Amino acid sequence: MSTTLLKATDVGCRFGGVIALDRVDFEVAENEIVGLIGPNGSGKTTLLNVLSGIYKPTAGSLMIDGAEVRWPSSRILSKRYKLARTFQNIRLAPGLTVRDNVLIGMHSTFHWYDALRRGRSSREASSRKAADEILEFVGIAGKADDIATDLSYGDQRRVEISRALATSPKLLLLDEPAAGMNPREAASLVTLIQQIHAERDLSIVVIEHNMNVVMNTASRVMVLDAGLCIAHGDPKTVSSDEQVLEAYLGKRFRDV
């Protein structure tokens, strides 16, 4: 039987007159990959921002690892509850190497300069080794000394994922990891997500507009539309749901 890692109940989030989330229930089990899809502006990133402590919701409750949490800050969530995330718009430290970006993730409790100093000191050789192991795992070890922002788009996404993995998360939140990728890069992202899931003891939530990525990674999918959950279930069931087809996927998806 699967154990629930995170359970958000009746979550609401308003921005003035805009209802970004309307009584949304969301659950992630241990070792599960959940896909989150929906049209632009349907509330996907808002849900991720709420779950990672960036937005405080206007209603609802959150349980993580069996304990009720009172919507703490992202720092507390990432440390105490071991959540890590990537962003829709890549956020890498400019001018720093790939390895240094990962070291920042590893020492995220410190100011980034402190993190780098610690990461670069001989005492912290083990951190560098751990960073290099993650880069190897993610497939960009050969680029550890390159400036991260000089890499291809697909590789920059891999750096972001490496940085998130550096915190050894129990829950990894990926916000449109395939955005801007070509089909070849997106296919190799699918393999990477499957590999992370198979080899690391964690759960993953993935927001994506690329249906191939969602359908080939997630075992369960939730669909948001205008802040409401309009469907959830296994990918096959969701992809044949009439309401989903009409609201979001449309004919395009029927042809996939």
Binding site for ligand ATP (CB under 6 A): 15, 18, 20, 38, 40-46, 88
Residue 62 β-bridge partners: 8, 69
Contact between 166 and 131 under an 8 Å Cβ cutoff? The reply is yes
Q: Which is nearer to ligand ATP, 28 or 37 (CB)?
A: 37
Taking alpha carbons only, the member of 14, 9, 19 closest to residue 228 is 19
68 within 8 A of 61, measured Cβ to Cβ: yes
For residue 128, give the amino acid letter: R
What the block records as the tokens of 30 is 């241990």
Least distance (Å) from ligand ATP to the CB of residue 27? 19
Q: Decide whether 40 or 126 has the Cβ nearer to ligand ATP.
A: 40
For ligand ATP, give the closer residue by CB, 45 or 127: 45
Largest Cα–Cα separation, the chain: 59
Helix axes 183-199, 153-165, angle to 10 degrees: 10
Task: Tell me whether residue 55 or residue 81 sits nearer to ligand ATP (CB atom).
Answer: 55
Query: Closest distance between ligand ATP and the C-beta of residue 16, in Å?
Result: 7
CB 235 within 8 A of CB 32: no
Rounded to the nearest whole angstrom, what is the least distance from the CB of residue 208 to ligand ATP in the complex? 9
Q: How far is the CB of 179 from ligand ATP (least distance, A)?
A: 9
Burial of 103 (0-12, 13-18, 19+ CB in 10 A): buried
Q: Indicate the SS3 state at residue 167.
A: coil
Q: How many CB atoms lie within 10 A of CB 26?
A: 22
- Compare residues 60 and 105 and give the one whose CB is closer to ligand ATP: 60
| Rounded distance between C-alpha atoms, residue 156 and residue 150, angstroms | 8
Nearest distance in Å: CB 9, ligand ATP: 19
Q: Which is nearer to ligand ATP, 20 or 238 (CB)?
A: 20
Least CB distance to ligand ATP at residue 60 (A): 15
